[in-house]
Copies of this chain bind each other. A is one copy, B any other.
Amino acid sequence: MVSLLLRGGLIVTQDPQRRIFLGDILVEAGRIAAIGPVDVSAEEVLDCTGCAILPGLINAHHHVANTLFRGIADDVPLEEMLERTFALDAKLTRRDVQTGALLGCVEMIRSGTTSFFDLFYWEDEVARAVRESGMRGFLSWVTLDEAFTTQRGSPLRNAEQFIVKHRGDALVTPSIGVQGVYVASAETYARAREIADRLGVRMHTHLSETRGEVFNHEAKTGQRPVGWLEKIGFLGDRLTAAHCVWLTLDEVRILAKDRVKVAHCPVSNMKLASGGVAPVPEMLAEGVTVSLGTDSPVSNNGMDMFADMKVAALLHKATRWDARAVPAQAALDMATIEGAKALGVESDLGSIEVGKRADLIAVSLRGPHTTPFYPANVISHLVYSCRGSDVQATVVDGRILMADHVVRSVDEAAVVARAQETARELLEV
């Protein structure tokens, strides 16, 4: 693995002191070897003049294969969106999943996301796409009761096989998912937890996304989803729960006590009119780790974490009548170091510190829309003014996946063309 020097950028460390300074970053053997003025050279050099250098962004909740279905179900509620999506999912071949996932990986590389936490079936196909693209994938094979699934074979067995096969991979970290309380029994949750414990992997679920989900679960079991999951022993610090919109303060405190990590998905929740707003200020006050996810391209319809950081910062201000709610720094934290915590990898990812894996992005600040810039407004610009298209270079594990806006790891035009053709056949448009 070649050494790499990122030269002359404004380094936004996201370290515990949130230091920002002009400097260089030396990468050796996939890790950050030095930060500051670096005098030695390296085999590869990225000129980062006029750029902020950030830890690569972490998308904490995604269904990347559904990138093929972008725009199929807008301006309709969750139930109708899911109905259309699941009907199309049933037509997907393994190769289609890979095609959609690879398209999504290219979109993420272009817009500065270096890691994502995915929830889907056929994650082995997503894993292929992740490896081909060179980015980092945290992939949860989704399980649910067999009565509800269209997966061939037992979802739990599929998940276990997937995890066993991919454990120990450098860029693909397997884990187990459970779709949600509306399609998973206590037994399914317990068996998923058993597999996660035995194999030492994380868990991933949808939780309290809509009021219908909460209402129906309470009607059926006498308990709201959080209390019910706690009772059956599913909550814990190896669980990442997406959405968490419909929570009481008591439920927030249960998540805090059990150290559950939350993936906040503001754009998806708004688009699907999930109603209410995830109580992020309360979560942060109670010490819950809150990361940021785009959710599926069907309900977003993109995966530009810069856009979603801005919406996260705006949404809580607007609904709390408090312009100080979720300041820019908090939004950037959600997309970086808190995302790493949500994936249990904060010792390796999420900030720029010596010894961490070198997942780094260079974000141009030279555009008219980021002018004027100076160190005191760089966090503001990253959250309120930048777009994914400002990402000039993307590095994962010390390897340059994109430089000067050109993706190096895959043939982008071919990926786009194949996805276009596949989608048109699937959708018959």
Which residues of A are in contact with B by a Cβ distance under 8 Å? 67-68, 70-72, 74-78, 81, 103-104, 106-107, 110-111, 267, 269-277, 300-304, 307, 310-311, 313-315, 317-325, 327-328, 366-369, 371-377, 380-381, 384-385, 387-390, 412, 415-416, 419-420, 422-424, 427, 429
Contacts and interface: CB of A to CB of B under 8 A. Distances in A.
A229 B6 CA distance: 59
B273 A320 contact: yes
Contacts of A78: 323
A291 B318 CA distance: 20
A7 B323 CA distance: 46
Nearest to A297: B385
Copies in the complex: 2
Given A381-B71, A384-B300, A273 B371 contact: no
A191 to B, nearest CB: 34
Contacts of A307: 307, 310, 387
B110 A368 contact: yes
A422 B323 CA distance: 28
A272 B313 CA distance: 11
A420 B373 contact: yes
B323 A415 contact: no
B415 A368 contact: yes
B429 A384 contact: no
Contact of A384 (B301, B372, B376): B301
Contacts of A275: 318, 321
Contacts of A314: 267, 270-271, 311
